[in-house]
Amino acid sequence: MKDLIQKLTETFSPSGYEHDIRQVIRNEAEPLVDEIKVDALGNLIARKGKLGKNGKRIMLAGHMDEIGLIATHIDENGFVRFSGIGGLYPHTLFSGRVRFVNGLTGVIGGERIADVSKTLSISQLFIDVGATSAKDCPIKTGDVAAFDRPFFDMGRRMVAKAMDDRVGCAVMIEALRNLKSSPNEIYFVFTTQEEVGLRGAATSAFGIDPEIGISLDVTGTGDTPKARKMDVGLGRGPAIKIKDGGMLSDVRVVQWMIRTAEKAKLPYQREVLEAGTTDATAIQVTRAGVPVGCISIPCRYIHSPSEMVDTNDVDNATKLLVALLSAPITL
Amino acid sequence: MANTTTLDKKQTDLLAKLSYAMALSGDEGEVRNIILDEIHSYITDYKIDALGNLLITRPGTTDKPLKVMLAAHMDEVGFMIAADDGEGLFRFEINGGIDLRQLPGKAVIVGKEHTPGVIGARPIHLTSVSERRDKIPLNNLRIDIGPGSNKVKPGDRATFATRFQRVGASIIGKALDDRLGVAVLIELLKHSPANLDLQVAFTVQEETGLRGARVAAFFFNPDLAFVIDSTPANDLPVWDDSENLSYNCRLGAGPAIYIADGSTLSDPRLIRLLEDTARNEVIPYQIRQPGGGGTDAGAIHKQRSGIPSVSVSIPCRYAHTAAGMARTSDFKQTIALLQATLQSIPQDILAQERR
């Protein structure tokens, strides 16, 4: 599992440019499924099982994309101005290293500010790719980059860029490996463009027309010094989402998840996230409406180059997912 | 080689007519009628849908042609009369994104009969220095049409009364966003290539949230889409001679191709197709700076199971004010680029990896 997470998090694929991660995931998933395809927005859709007696058509969504940077202008001295793809926090950027999708690297510098207690805004930051003029700069407007930071195994905890949401993708792949049989027709969808507005989930859900939707994503925690109050912490089990900034989980789905976790004696946490949301939000309002829920992997320092998760949480999220999918479902 | 920079009289007249027309979001009939007049001899059928989109299909003659949607919005930003204060004075609301600082002292036209009026402002003689420093809130602004008329009613739309002008290589007018796109689309429809099922949408309610495009894309269910819009050029010199880092796009540098805006990440295959075509045909183009904002593509690409989309815009200075300015060369080159691109779309473009 750790090797898989390392492989997934060390791939560079910001929103809209998911081809590399799609190939990595495809290599993992293809031998495990009955059918696999890529749709118009680049979602990787893998089907496992056929609708059996008492079965349901289920869509799982874990997003492949990660937050990133996009070049907006190359100045006359060859510095690259940029804006964000998805929610970049300016205070996580200065002196960070980035890698462009085309393989080129750069470091983020900033304009001088008189008051060092202030944070540089994104418009005061630039990427230095080692160029000396606009002419010899190998980057052009519109080129896309992501954080460059290696995966870090701390034993019980793991740290990486893009843990959001490659850890969700890893849980789905592991669940595929461990799922022995199921009466359900399950679509494992590795979605695109989540970080810019849940776009891939919206269109893939339209195509699949599921009876139940579940997203696998990270959620924030309240267990660090002076954190925002939140009843979720690392190592206390996967979080069963009840509400977030964009969605109210279907009550029946929440109860089904809790019932299943308790029966399987798996630890779990009840999640109420005040800001932020997941692919389930888009799935819920597709076509005539879909009952949805979300299994969250608690994660510290989300949208920074060093996102931290707990190994046991990842394992237990996988077990919970397998337990949910293995049996007939009555909501 | 065809003239790719200046306008002939017919094109100028059409742009003037489109610019003068009043088509606020939700009431786009004036522009729709101009378009129908212009294209009726080129089409056999059209549909005006429930929201007012004008939808035209031109079937291709080849085997299994790609379904390609083209969209440009008919509506413009402006005002809606909210209440009658008597004596010809009316409170009003804003339609779409308008900077209130742009309003005082502007001449406007109101309602179906284009009744003239003015957005009043207290003159300099009667205002204090401190008063002039602040922007005037919408609550304190009125449209004044003078007493004695009963033509204007709450719910009527209003827009800027701006004379359309040709000045050298430029045009000045109101609502160039997106009448320039509408004119491009008319041109593409008249000379539509036979290798595609062309699905043309003159859309409504873009300025209030891409509403028309959303339902038009559902109806057409195309394989891919091009959106033609107008994007602000912020290309004036910076006051302190430092480098302008956020020009968005520049007048005279050709059609502006979108890679990313607030609502869409353009399909990389379509971006590449446009850039390759521009290079092959030696048509100037520019990349619009990635950033915020949005076009009809924001609604189209998320429709149904997803529709690969890209936007191309004609640069326009002073967008969403009483008078915008655009270059005729950018307009003509946008037509040229899209025409050449449509003719050269490979049948298997979507079979290529999206990268």
CB–CB of B307 and A40 under 8 A?
yes
Is the peptide bond between A279 and the residue preceding it cis, with omega within 30 degrees of 0? no
In the β-sheet with A307-310, what is the strand arrangement from edge to edge?
A: A152-153, A157-160, A307-310
Q: Which residues of chain B form beta strands (DSSP E)?
A: 47-48, 54-58, 66-73, 78-86, 89-95, 107-110, 115-119, 143-144, 157-160, 165-167, 170-173, 196-203, 224-232, 256-257, 286-287, 309-316, 324-327
* Chain A residues whose beta carbon lies within 8 Å of the beta carbon of residue B248: none
ipTM value for the complex: 0.92
Give the residue from A90, A121, A147 where a domain finishes: A147
Residue B28: closest CA among B216, B299, B253: B216
CB–CB of A204 and B305 under 8 A?
yes
CA-nearest residue to A71 within chain B is: B290
In a domain, A154, yes or no: no
Q: Are residues A197 and A299 in the same domain?
A: yes
In chain B, which residue ranges form alpha helices assigned H by DSSP? Answer: 9-20, 29-39, 129-133, 176-190, 211-220, 268-281, 297-300, 328-343
CB–CB of B245 and A81 under 8 A?
yes
One digit per residue, pLDDT tens: chain B, 355 residues?
456 678 999 999 999 999 999 999 999 999 999 999 999 999 999 999 999 999 999 999 999 999 999 999 999 999 999 999 999 999 999 999 999 999 999 999 999 999 999 998 877 888 888 888 888 999 999 999 999 988 999 999 999 999 999 999 999 999 999 999 999 999 999 998 899 999 999 999 999 999 999 999 999 999 999 999 999 999 998 878 889 999 999 999 999 999 999 999 999 999 999 999 999 999 999 999 999 999 999 999 999 999 999 999 999 999 999 999 999 999 999 999 999 999 999 999 999 999 9
Q: Which residues 27-86 of A are in CB contact (within 8 Å) with B?
A: 38-43, 70-73, 75-76, 81, 83, 85
CA-nearest residue to B353 within chain A is: A19
Q: Does A15 touch chain B (CB under 8 A)?
A: yes
Structure tokens of B300? 């189209």
The model's pTM: 0.94
In a domain, A232, yes or no: yes
Strands A152-153 and A157-160: antiparallel
What distance in Å separates residue A222's CA from the closest CA in chain B?
Answer: 31
* φ, ψ dihedrals at B24, nearest 5°: -75, 155
CB–CB of B305 and A40 under 8 A?
yes
B160 - beta bridge partners?
Answer: B108
Q: Are residues A94 and A237 in the same domain?
A: no
Mean pLDDT by 10 residues, chain A (331 residues): 98 97 98 97 97 94 98 97 96 96 96 90 97 96 97 97 98 97 97 98 98 98 96 98 97 98 98 96 97 98 97 98 96 90
What is the C-alpha to C-alpha distance for residues A125 and A82, in angstroms, rounded to an integer? 8
What distance in Å separates residue A219's CA from the closest CA in chain B?
Answer: 24
Task: Characterise B52 by phi-psi region: left (phi > 0), alpha (psi -120 to 50), beta (else).
Answer: left
Q: Does A16 touch chain B (CB under 8 A)?
A: yes
| DSSP H or E stretch at residue A240 | strand A239-243
Chain A to chain B, count of Cβ pairs less than 8 Å apart? 77
What is the C-alpha to C-alpha distance for residues B48 and B26, in angstroms, rounded to an integer? 13
Q: Do A182 and A56 contact (CB within 8 A), yes or no?
A: no
Q: Are residues A168 and A287 in the same domain?
A: yes
Give the residue from A125, A147, A169 where a domain finishes: A147
In a domain, A76, yes or no: yes
CB–CB of A202 and B302 under 8 A?
yes
CB nearest to B243's CB, from A39, A76, A203: A76
What distance in Å separates residue B278's CA from the closest CA in chain A?
Answer: 17
Q: Are residues A123 and A251 in the same domain?
A: no
What distance in Å separates residue B304's CA from the closest CA in chain A?
Answer: 6
What's the pLDDT at B3? 61
In a domain, A153, yes or no: no
Q: Are residues A52 and A20 in the same domain?
A: yes
CA-nearest residue to A202 within chain B is: B302
Q: Are residues A45 and A87 in the same domain?
A: no
In B226-285, which residue ranges form alpha helices assigned H by DSSP? Answer: 268-281
In a domain, A156, yes or no: no
Q: Are residues A120 and A225 in the same domain?
A: no
Long-range CB contacts for residues A48-53, cutoff 8 Å, separation at least 24: A48/A176, A48/A179, A48/A182, A48/A186, A48/A188, A49/A182, A49/A183, A49/A184, A49/A185, A49/A186, A50/A185, A51/A184, A51/A185, A52/A183, A52/A184, A52/A185, A53/A183
Residues 6+ apart with CB under 8 A from B262: B291, B292, B293, B294, B298
Q: Are residues A34 and A165 in the same domain?
A: yes
Residue A90's CATH number: 2.40.30.40
**Which of B224, B259, B288 to mutate against chain A (most A CBs within 10 Å)?**
B259
In a domain, A32, yes or no: yes
Structure tokens of B92? 């009003």
Structure tokens of A331? 């909501």
CB nearest to B287's CB, from A85, A123, A141: A141
Q: What is the DSSP string of B110-127?
A: ETTTTEEEEE----GGG-
Domain extent at residue A141: 68-147
CB–CB of B308 and A41 under 8 A?
yes
Q: Which residues of B touch A (CB under 8 A)?
A: 243, 245-246, 259-260, 263, 265-266, 268, 271, 287, 289-291, 301-308, 350, 353-355
* Chain A residues whose beta carbon lies within 8 Å of the beta carbon of residue B303: 203
Q: Are residues A75 and A198 in the same domain?
A: no
Give the residue from A147, A178, A208 where a domain finishes: A147
3-state helix, strand, coil in chain A (%, to 5): 25, 30, 45
Q: Is B340 helix (H, G, I), strand (E, B) or coil?
A: helix
Residue A272's CATH number: 3.40.630.10
What is the C-alpha to C-alpha distance for residues B217 and A40, in angstroms, rounded to an integer? 14
* Chain A residues whose beta carbon lies within 8 Å of the beta carbon of residue B305: 39-40, 203-204, 206-207
Residues 6+ apart with CB under 8 A from A272: A230, A231, A242, A243, A244
What's the pLDDT at B1? 42
CB–CB of B287 and A81 under 8 A?
no
Domain count, chain A: 2
Q: Are residues A267 and A121 in the same domain?
A: no
In a domain, A234, yes or no: yes
User: Is B206 a known active-site residue?
Assistant: yes
Q: Are residues A53 and A90 in the same domain?
A: no
In a domain, A250, yes or no: yes
Structural domains of chain B ordered from first start: 9-76+175-346 (3.40.630.10), 78-160 (2.40.30.40)
CB nearest to A41's CB, from B263, B287, B306: B306
What distance in Å separates residue B184's CA from the closest CA in chain A?
Answer: 25
DSSP, res A18: -
B155 - beta bridge partners?
Answer: none
**Which of A23, A72, A122 to mutate against chain B (most B CBs within 10 Å)?**
A72
Strands B286-287 and B256-257: parallel
Residue A310: closest CA among A218, A234, A219, A230: A234
**Active-site residue, from B187, B206, B207, B281:** B206
Q: Are residues A85 and A128 in the same domain?
A: yes
Q: Do B283 and A67 contact (CB within 8 A), yes or no?
A: no
CA-nearest residue to A73 within chain B is: B245
